[in-house]
Structure formats: structure tokens, C-alpha cells
Structure 1
Amino acid sequence: METDDRARTSPPPHVPADRLYDIDLYKPDGIETDGYLKAWKRLQDEKLPGLVWSPFNGGHWVATTGALIREIYTDPDRFSSQVLFIPKAAGEKYAMVPSKMDPPEHRPYRAVVDKGLNLRAIREREPQVRALAASLIDQFADRGTCDFVGEFSAEFPIQVFMTMADLPMEDSPKLRALASGMTRPGGNSPEEMAANLDRANKGFFDYVGPIIDARRGKPGTDIISLCVNTDINGAMMERQKLLGMISLLLLAGLDSVTNFMNMMMDHLGRHPETVAILRDNPEELRRAVEEMFRRFPLVAAARMIAKDIELDGVELKAGEMVLLPTALAGLDEEQNPDPWKLDFHRSRISHSTFGEGPHRCAGLHLARLETTILLEEWLKRIPTFHVVTGSEPRFESGVVASVDNVHLEWEAA
């Protein structure tokens, strides 16, 4: 395998030999030829056990079924969020809250984050989000072609979030680079990756520190002001936790949705029959969007095992890590029959794209709104389109996968 030249960690004695598999989160086998989702789905196609051990990235378990991924996400007593990223050495450098907190400590901090991201707050922003999407699409709709990444996805969700946070758009390239350094840290060893993630984490803290100081104690409706001026259990939030909270908002708002949109639009550009269904049934678009999130998952976070337990017939020891590739939840045949098919009438849509349990993604309402508006405004102006002949997306795996090189074209009006 291509990953054989990377650092390996010997499995601990309690790991059975038949549970050892070469799985590299950052370079899954087949990603360059088959793409991100098929590279991960291969683990299920090969009928691997529910839990397997990988020697890469410091050594860790991997959950390979949707049922196990959901079970682990929803059980913070056995699976802690104190370390969320693989390799563990890098995950230990991650200092953002409340995502790295366990209940009950996590709950009041999550309530603060939800103030600016709850369903009502997001619905109030719909006119502004719609106007931005329309204006971006109008810039290229009459041209008949676009670089979707450069001209839309790298602008739309980021402009939405920077506006919600009242931050200058010229800061977005720096923040996107920091986000990439967190979710796809470079390096050929856990130690190198830990150093790179730590550098990106500190970069976020250095950026948000002056912003927190400027907005604390002052009224404001932007999402940062709402957080920094809210007490926790009747007391002012510690500065270090505020640094982690505001940094988390930026990290979450600047990476995941952009790459999801790239994956989705590349697929639609290759399947005109699916575009026709969306175009001809606008009343069903919101349900279709949920099916899109099932079909195009791109997060692979992790949990730390909190205590010695047995699961799926193997022993798990406290302190070990288990990877949760959400691709293996949304594309699991046991959860979703015929999972590769985009079925907008699927009776039960099952996925873990937004996570599960107490740490389910706080930004899910915004992600759904942005995706729905993208499709609505796009199809009004560009009812049929396809990928440019010979154009192939580029994938990079990580805690959040990246998707680049999406070029679309259509018959201009």
C-alpha cells in the first residue's frame, strides 16, 4: 500500500491479529483513483469487522459500521471528547471548547454557542444569505462556465459566516489556512502533525484574542458578541475558554460546508437526471438536502476511550482512540439500502454527518439553510449544467476532507 512508508505503531497485546488493517485517515487507500467516499466505503465492501486497529497515525481503532459510529458518538460516559483528532498526539493539542468537553461540564458552554446558531436565529438570516448567494451566482450565470470552488464555495459560506461574526472578509484566507492546518495537519509522524496542529490552534487564539477584548462588555448582535457577553453559571467566562469557543466557531464555519458543497455540485454536474428531479420538484428541496448530507459525508473525528470496556468482541483500553468516519454511517447498507443512490423519497434517512449525541454539530441549521438556498438560487439561473469535460475533483482526506477542482459549464442564456 502507498501508506507503508509512513510511521507505524505496534498494536498493544490485547488487539487480536485478525483486527489489524492498514487504514490511514490522511491517505486512505484508493483516494487518488476512486475518490474520498469510495476509498472509505471499501472498508465495508471488504466486510471488515465492526472495530479494527490501524497502525498509522499513532495507532488507533476504527469503527466501520453506522451502528457502531452512532453508538460511540452518543455515549460520552464510555467515549470521551477530551481528545477528538487522530493522531492522539495532535488531538491533545486541540484546545477548542465546548467540543472537547464532556457532559455535564459541556452543557452551559454549548448553550452559549447555540444562542447565535439556533433555528430561529438562522431563519432570521435567510434573506441576507439568499441575497448573497444570488449575487455570487449572477456574476457568472451569463458566462456559461465557472470555477465553482474559486467563484462560489470559497466565498458563499465564508462570507455568510464572516458577516454573522462581523469580521472583515479580507481576513478569510488567513483563517481558512488555519482551519486547514487544524483538520488536515501536515507531517510524517504524530509528533510533526501535533506541532502543526498546535501552530494552527495558537494562530486562531492569536487572531481572536484582540476581538474578544474589543467586544467584551459591549452590546452587539453578532455571534462573537453574543458569546463573549454571556455568563456561565452566573460568572464571566474564563478567557482561555472564550479563546477556545470563538476559535471553534471560526474553524467550523470556514471549512466543512465549503467542501461539502464542492462534493455535492461535482456529483450533480455528472448526473443531469438528478438535477432534473431537483429542478422539477422545488417543493421537495429541503428533504432532498438532508439526503445530500447523508450521501456526501466528509468528517472523520474521533473519541478517546474513557475506561476499559469490551465492544464488538474486543477489549478497548482507557486512553485509546477510536476513529469515526461518517462516510461509513451514511453509506452503510444496513442503515440506508442502496446507499450510493440519491433517493429523495427515502423513507428513513440515516446518517451521522453532523455527528450524534451531545456534540451534534451546532451549525447544522446554518449548513442546511446555505445548501437549500444554493440549490434554489442556482437552479433558478442555471437549470441544467455539467462538469467541464476532463475535469476531475481532487480529494484530500483528514478530520474534514477537502474537495477542490470543480469546474462546471452550461449553455449561457
Structure 2
Amino acid sequence: MNKAATIHTPSGMPAADNRARVAKPDHVTDDLVRDIDMYALDGLESGYHEAWKALAAKEISDLVWTPLTGGHWIAMNGPMIKEIYEDPSRFSSEVIFLPKEAGQKYLMVPTRMDPPEHTPYRKLLDTGLNPARIRDIEQMVRQAAIDLIEPLVAQGKCDFSADFAKIFPVRVFMAMSDLPLEDVPKLVRWSDDMTRPTGSTPEEMAACLDAANQNFFAYVEPIIAARIGGTGKDLITTMVNGTVDGQPMPHDKALGLISLLLLGGLDTVVNFLSFMMIYLARNPDTVAELKGNDLKLLRGVEELFRRFPVVSDARMVAYDMEFRGVALKHGDMILLPTALHGLDETENAEPWTLDWERKQIKHSTFAHGPHRCAGLHLARLEATVTLQEWLKRVPEFRLAEGARPIYHSGIVAAVENVPLVWPTA
């Protein structure tokens, strides 16, 4: 087994590594064991994507196993990540969060369902998030971005994460769902506890995630009750009055589906936008290519999603099998760090570089197969609008001198402290 990673305190001093480890199962060979902690990646201080790629660069195996986070496999390249996402018959969504003990407490649907049970719930989700519905809200999304950017322009500086990224997609989603903005702080806190649960053992992390999941359910239950039979056009009313196989949605499934909408709307795009902006602030030549070229910008958004994925969820092995020469057992968990697909050199040449002209872009940022992200059209719109409206008003910007973004890894990666500066008129 590899040596345990060195743990550091906030002061930078080494500390004892007391992370909980599980015993290696008999079917896992010694040569595949690595100390990789998805919630505290080695080298994370240099960047989330950089940390994952540095770990992958050390490997000669496509699949490794870690005793941390309850013990699980990790897929280490793009083609394997894509293959696992695409095949629910071998790799189930019955449990998708790690550690497994926490994932078993996750009750949101349809993300933890497999086809055919998953299919009618996904169809219902698509009625509220399809391209036509998203086009209908474009002006609202654009105005939300403008309202946030305009007051910042004359200041010549901002913390992009705090002043824009953590507000804009959340404001959009709350408007789509007809929910009050004053509820955002507690919803964001519960989202954080699900995607980056606290605790030093799998059991403690499970308790954190379970409490957050139950808080979501308690929050949405009266909202669902109030909107059943309603005629509103908001996303929640559309969902709770839809049907599943021709029948009203069961109450427990409604709790899970509406909670999932909130979880997805309050975390992923928030963090993607900040990762995106750090890169653009460090690469003014890349930004300059977009000025006055809206067509290039529209085409380039997919390249941004390739370069800055933030999700690392998991799949459960459906039955005993040999996969890529490795013995897997029913119930084994496999982590899928989507960062390793878009940054895979065998899939995308010079993957660290944003290339607005890149053809045949390959990534797993929105996953693949039956669980391909239902919110991808909204995410693309929010990214596009952010770039368009920001560059109109702040065409030149950079990271403030000495800026040190703070990175967090987990089921959804996060970044804070993104201070930008720009010349004012």
C-alpha cells in the first residue's frame, strides 16, 4: 500500500493522519491500493483539476482502490468514466454518493434509480428543463446577470465567487421555482452538507448527509402540498402536477424529485462559473479572442464545460465481474471524477488549454447514459449569458495581486476567494 498522504493544518504544519481507513477486501490486489481522499485531495491547494490530474499521472492502472472514504474504486481515465456512466446494467445508480454509508442515506430521485424505473421520472424532469422551456426564460436569466454585474463595473474589483457566482444561478433557480430568496442561505448550507459532508468517519459523514437530506424533504413537503392542483408555470408546480406512467407521482418520490431540483440548482453551476473565471483572468489572450465574436463565444461554451467539470459521483457494481482485467464484486463502489475525462490527453489534445476552435470535444461534465444531466441546457445558458454580459462591461480583468483561491473537493468541487480587478473609466 502507498504511504498515507501528508495532512497539513491551515498554518501549513504537518499533522497526524487520523483519517478512517477500511481493510482491503480479498479481491483487491495490493498493487491497486492508493491513499486517495476525494474530500481532501493531495495537492488541492494548487487547484482542484490540477490535483486530480496529478494523481492520475502517477498511475499505470485504469482502476485503483482506496481504503479512505469507506473504501472504493476510482476510475482514472476518460474512456472508462464514460463507459461506466453509459452502462447501468453493470454499474448501478442505486448508490451514487460516497462514502457508501452516506450514499445509502441519499434519497433523491431519479438520480438513484436505474432504468426502467428511472425512465418516467426523467421524462417528467425533461418537461420542465427542455430547451424550449429554457429559451422562454432567457431574458429573465440575462437580466439577472446584468443586475449583478452593473453595480460592480465602477468598483474596478470584486470577489467573483461571492459577488456573482454564488448569487446569479441561485437567483435564477429560485425565480424558476417561485421560491423566496431569503430561504437561500439554509438551502445552500444543506447542499454543502450533501455534496461535501463533514465528519471523520463514514458514519459521521452519513449522519451529516442524512440530516441535510431530511431538511430538504421537510422544506419541500409543504410547498408540494400547496402546489398540487395548481396552475402556475413555475418548475415545482410543473413537476408535482405531472404524471409517472399515467399516474400522479407518489408522495415520497415527489419529495425526492423536488429536493433534487433544489440540490442541483444551488451548487454545480455556482462553482463551475468561479473555476471558469479564474482561468480567464489568468489568460487575457484567450478572453481577447471572444471580444466582438459572439459566434465563437457561443461555440466555445462547451469547451469551458470540458475544461472545468466539478462533479465526482459514483456507481455501484451490479454483480460480480471482471472489468478491464480487475475483479469487481457486487456492491463495490466506483468513483467517477469527471475532471479526468475532459483533461485526458488521449481524448482531447492539449487538454489544459482552452481552444475555442476545438472540434469533437469529449468530456463527462454532464455525465452520459440515462442519467445525463437534466439541467445541462440551463447550465449552458447561464454560462453563455455570464460571458456575454460580463465581457460587454468588463472586457479586461485579472486576478488581484497575490490572490489565492481556496479549493474544496467532494461530490461537487467548490472554489472560494476569486478576487478580480479591472481598469475603470
Aligned to 1:146: 158
Using the TM superposition, give the Cα deviation of residue 41 of structure 1 relative to its aligned residue in structure 2, in angstroms.
Answer: 0.2
SS at structure 2 position matched to 1:5? coil
Deviation at 1:62, TM superposition (A): 0.3
Paired residue secondary structure (1:358): helix
Query: Aligned partners of 2:183 and 2:400: how far apart in 1?
Result: 31
Partners of 1:266 and 1:387 within 8 A in 2: yes
Distance 1:112 1:2 in 2: 47
**What residue is the counterpart of 1:21 in the other structure?**
34
1:257 to 2:269 alignment = yes
Which position in structure 1 is the counterpart of 2:307?
295
Q: For 2:161 and 2:128, how far apart are their aligned partners in 1?
A: 27
Query: SS of the counterpart of 1:139?
Result: helix
Does residue 377 (structure 1) correspond to residue 366 (structure 2)? The answer is no
Once residues 308 and 282 of structure 1 are traced to their aligned partners in structure 2, the CA distance between those partners, rounded to angstroms, is 50
Distance 1:48 1:385 in 2: 40
Instruction: Give me the whole-angstrom Cα distance separating, in 2, the residues matched to 1:68 and 1:150.
Output: 35
In the alignment, the residues of structure 2 paired with residue 293 and residue 350 of structure 1 have an alpha-carbon distance, to the nearest angstrom, of 10
Amino acid at match of 1:323: L
Which residue, out of 83, 103, 126, partners 2:138? 126
1:179 to 191, 194, 202: 191
| CA deviation after TM superposition for structure 1 residue 46, in Å | 1.3
* 1:341-388 C-alpha deviation (Å, 9 max, x unpaired): 111111210000011110010000000000000000000001100111
8 Å Cα contact 1:166-1:222 kept in structure 2 = yes
Equivalent in the alignment of 1:2: 6
Q: Distance in 2 between matches of 1:57 and 1:373?
A: 37
Partner of 2:13: none
Partners of 1:337 and 1:369 lie apart in 2 by: 26
**CA–CA distance in 2 between the matches of 1:77 and 1:2?**
38
Q: How far apart, CA to CA, are the structure 2 residues paired with 1:124 and 1:236?
A: 26
Query: Take 1:103 and 1:48, find their aligned partners in 2: how far apart are those partners?
Result: 34
Residue identity matched to 1:2: T
CA distance in structure 2 between the partners assigned to 1:155 and 1:234 by the alignment: 37
Out of 358, 361, 374, which is 2:373 matched to? 361
Q: Equivalents in 2 of 1:297, 1:230: separation in Å?
A: 31
Matches within 5 A, 1:8-407: 8-32=21-45, 34-407=46-419
Unaligned runs of 5+ in 1: none
- 1:19 is displaced (CA, Å) by 0.6
Secondary structure at the aligned position of 2:275 is classed as: helix
Write out per-residue CA displacement over residues 59-80 of structure 1, whole angstroms, 9 at most, x where no aligned residue: 0000001000000000000000
Q: Secondary structure at the match of 1:298?
A: coil
TM-score by length of 2: 0.96
Once the 2 structures are TM-superposed, how far is the Cα of residue 43 of structure 1 from its aligned partner? 2.4
Task: Give the fraction of aligned pairs with identical amino acids, expressed as a percent.
Answer: 55
- 3-state SS of 1:226 partner: helix
How far did 1:16 drift? 1.1
How much has 1:48 moved relative to structure 2? 3.4
User: What is the TM-score normalised by the length of structure 1?
Assistant: 0.98
- Amino acid aligned to 2:348: N
Structure 1 stretches (4+) deviating beyond 3 angstroms? Answer: none
Name the count of aligned residue pairs: 412
Q: Report if aligned partners of 2:75, 2:337 keep a CA contact under 8 Å in 1.
A: yes
Unpaired segments of 5 or more residues in structure 2?
8-16
8 Å CA contact retained: 2:162, 2:416? no
**1:47: Cα distance to partner?**
3.0
